[in-house]
Each structure stands twice: as structure tokens, then as C-alpha cells.
């Protein structure tokens, strides 16, 4: 049924794809203006809709550079109920600033984190006080001409036709991969074969001949209680709550570590309501087990924080994630490219 629907929607994808192509060519021909800045800017983004691992990649890049340069993270703040420019504070709410920026601020409390839907406006407000600005999810923001582009593809996206909306899940054309200096395939199997890497590389090389191509997988860190203590989830009874784009890798991981009783899934960036929390609480309390926990993601935790009182009697635990590269040499080259590019820009006379 879904395949038939996608087939029926394909003519609309042609129209959408043509409109996107025209827009990008207008920027390439400088008929639409892109703005560059004297402060180094690194964009992390994708061509598809969500679920490619931008947050852990942003955290990886920030960790690599923040000790050398006064760094700011600038995000759109997807899902927030405000507009304009905001500085994110550790006690901000996800409704004010978005869940991912709030996660960044709590992970890097000394770092400047800001949100602004107009990235150029955001950079203008940050550039005088910072040496480097890292932009989360700004690859399609062609009004900005960044110093460096990091483009992410979810591994599973190479198993399906890469169509644009509405027949497919891509919001931009594959040809736009040509603007990236680094392309990382995320959420790969840990045992990804050399043959599979070469197949994906060959496909990407049709659109980008020069970018560094790297392969990474999700690294699940030690679970943490919402109050801060580490938690061992092995063999525990788990009720999992997610509001992320592609939760299946997490579900698979939990099944290997613990007894997954129930998965309560919401759409990506879902704004939890009191009714949702009541449903979650009811599911947890109805589980007859003395060895149970409610597990969620670090991003979802940011949106559950306003319901701290309702969840007070629940063992609420979140699972931080990061990225690991399949090839340590690729990781070293990735970081060297970042450092060399930023250093050259900062030290320009």
C-alpha cells in the first residue's frame, strides 16, 4: 500500500524536485545571494528528513574544537513555540528553545548555544564574541555560505530509492552533495563490510568527487538516571519512550541488553502533553515488576522535564549516544580537516 502511494505521488516529486533544483541553481549562479562571514562557520546537515544523527555529530565536532576556539552552537530550534533569536540556558524549556539546543546546552554548559531560524541573523549576533560557529541542520539554508559543510546520510537510506518529497524522504536532491567537504554515513552496522562501503562510496562519487567519505555507527553510553546517577539496565524490565525519527536501532539495542516490555513511540520532536505523560505513567505503574525502569533518549528527556512532578515516583533513565568511526584513520583525517580549515581561517590576516 505504501509503495503504491509513493508511486502515485511520484509526479508531485518531479515538480518539487524541479523547484528545488531551480532554487539551488539560482544560488549557484549568484542570482540569489549567499552571505559569508569573517568568523569560521561549520554546517552539519542532511538531505533527508531527520534521523541521520546530526545531534551526536554536532557534539563530536564541538568536543573536537571547543578547547581551541571560543565556540558557539547555532540551531533553528526545531519544535520550539517561540521565534527569533534566543540564547539557550540550562534552565530553558524545550518549548522555548527546542529539544536539541537544550540538550547541547546541558551537555556543554559553558558553551554558547543559541537558536534563530534565520542563520545569518544568528551569526551576526554571535560573530563578534566567538571564534567559531557550528550550525546544526543548516545545509539547505543557502542564504549562508559556510566555511565548511558536513553532510550526513543514514545508512538505511541507501537501501531505498532516494526520491524527494512527497514520494520519498529527501528534501533536497542528491546532486547537492557536491557542496560537502566531508560526507559521513551514519547508523551503519558495526560489522559493515568493505564491499558495502565501496558500493556506497561509488554512489556518492557520482555527485561529489573530492569529499572525505567516512562511516560511523551509534555508540550507546552508560544510562543515566534523570537525577544524575549511572544506571545498569542489564536484565531490567524496560518501558521505552521515544519521540525521535528512527527509533528502531535503539529498540534493537535495548532488546539485546534488557527485557523490553513496551515501546511507547511518538513522532520526532513530539511536544509531550499531560495526557501523554498520564499514558506513560499508567503503563509504568501497571507493570508488575520490582526491577523496572522507564527509559528514554537524551533528546526526549528535555521535553519531559516540565513533567518532573508527575514522574517523581518513576525510575526515569535516559540513554546518551555518540558516534564511533569504523576506521580510526578516517576519524583522524576528519578531525585534521576540521582543525586545519578553522585554523587557516582564524589566522588569516
Percent of the chain past pLDDT 90, that is, above it, reads: 85
Give the CATH number of domain 2-219+325-346; options: 3.30.2290.10, 1.20.1250.20, 3.40.50.300, 1.20.1060.10.
Answer: 3.40.50.300
The candidate with the shortest Cα–Cα distance to 35, out of 190, 146, 110, 127, is 146
Q: How far apart are the first and last CA of the chain?
A: 60
3-state secondary structure of 241: strand
pLDDT for the residue 8: 77
Name all contacts of 195-202 with Cβ < 8 Å and 24+ positions apart. Answer: 197/326, 199/158, 200/155, 200/158
pTM: 0.94
pLDDT tens readout for residues 128-151:
999 999 999 999 999 999 999 999
| Grid cell 576556539 in the structure block, residue | 69
CA atoms lying within 13 Å on the CB side of residue 211? 26
> How many CB atoms neighbour CB 46 within 10 A?
25
pLDDT of residue 42: 98
Reported as a single tens digit per residue, the pLDDT across 58-102 is: 999 999 999 999 999 999 999 899 999 999 999 999 999 999 999
Q: What angle do CA 97, 186, 37 make, to 5 degrees?
A: 50
Same fold, 2-219+325-346 and 224-319: yes
Quick: pLDDT tens for 235-245. Answer: 899 999 999 98
Give, in words, the CATH class of 224-319: alpha beta
Using alpha carbons, select from 308, 310, 265 the residue that is nearest to residue 94: 308
Domain boundary assignment for the chain: 2-219+325-346, 224-319
Summarize the confidence of residues 154-182 as an average pLDDT: 92
- Which of the two residues, 263 and 9, has the higher pLDDT score? 263
Chain-wide mean pLDDT for the chain?
94
pLDDT of the residue at 306: 93
**What was the pLDDT predicted at 89?**
97
Q: Is residue 220 scored above 90 in pLDDT? A: yes
The confidence score (pLDDT) of residue 69 equals 97
Closest CA to 173 of 151, 145, 194, 150: 151
SS3 at position 218: strand
Amino acid at each position: 500500500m505504501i509503495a503504491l502511494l509513493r508511486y502515485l505521488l511520484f509526479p508531485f516529486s518531479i515538480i518539487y524536485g524541479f523547484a528545488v533544483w531551480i532554487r539551488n541553481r539560482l544560488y549557484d549562479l549568484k542570482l540569489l545571494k549567499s552571505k559569508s562571514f569573517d568568523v569560521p562557520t561549520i554546517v552539519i546537515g542532511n538531505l533527508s528528513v531527520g534521523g541521520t544523527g546530526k545531534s551526536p555529530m554536532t557534539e563530536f565536532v564541538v568536543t573536537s574544537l571547543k578547547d581551541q576556539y571560543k565556540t558557539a552552537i547555532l540551531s533553528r530550534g526545531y519544535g520550539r513555540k517561540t521565534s527569533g533569536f534566543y540564547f539557550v540556558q540550562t534552565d530553558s524549556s524545550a518549548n522555548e528553545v527546542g529539544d536539541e539546543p537544550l540538550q547541547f546546552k546541558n551537555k556543554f554548559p559553558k558553551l554558547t548555544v543559541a537558536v534563530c531560524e534565520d542563520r545569518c541573523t544568528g551569526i551576526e549576533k554571535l560573530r563578534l564574541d566567538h571564534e567559531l560557529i557550528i550550525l546544526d541542520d543548516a545545509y539547505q539554508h543557502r542564504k549562508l555560505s559556510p566555511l565548511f559543510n558536513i553532510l550526513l546520510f543514514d545508512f538505511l537510506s541507501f537501501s531505498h530509492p532516494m526520491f524527494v518529497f512527497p514520494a520519498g524522504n529527501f528534501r533536497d536532491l542528491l546532486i547537492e552533495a557536491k557542496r560537502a567537504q566531508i560526507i559521513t554515513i551514519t547508523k551503519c552496522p558495526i560489522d559493515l563490510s568493505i564491499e558495502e562501503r565501496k558500493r556506497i562510496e561509488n554512489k556518492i562519487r557520482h555527485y561529489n568527487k573530492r569529499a572525505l567519505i567516512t562511516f560511523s555507527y551509534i555508540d550507546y553510553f552508560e544510562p543515566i538516571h534523570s537525577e544524575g546517577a549511572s544506571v545498569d539496565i542489564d536484565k531490567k524490565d524496560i518501558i521505552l519512550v521515544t519521540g525521535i525519527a528512527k527509533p528502531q536501532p535503539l529498540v534493537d539495542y535495548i532488546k539485546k541488553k534488557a527485557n523490553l516490555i513496551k515501546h511507547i513511540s511518538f513522532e520526532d520532536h513530539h511536544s509531550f502533553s499531560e495526557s501523554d505523560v498520564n499514558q506513560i505513567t499508567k503503563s509504568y505503574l501497571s507493570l508488575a515488576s520490582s526491577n523496572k525502569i522507564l527509559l528514554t533518549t537524551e533528546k526526549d528527556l528535555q521535553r519531559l522535564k516540565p513533567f518532573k512532578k508527575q514522574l517523581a515516583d518513576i525510575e526515569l533513565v535516559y540513554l546518551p549516544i555518540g558516534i564511533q568511526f569504523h576506521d580510526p584513520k578516517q576519524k583522524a583525517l576528519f578531525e585534521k580537516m576540521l582543525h586545519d580549515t578553522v585554523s587557516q581561517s582564524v589566522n588569516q590576516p
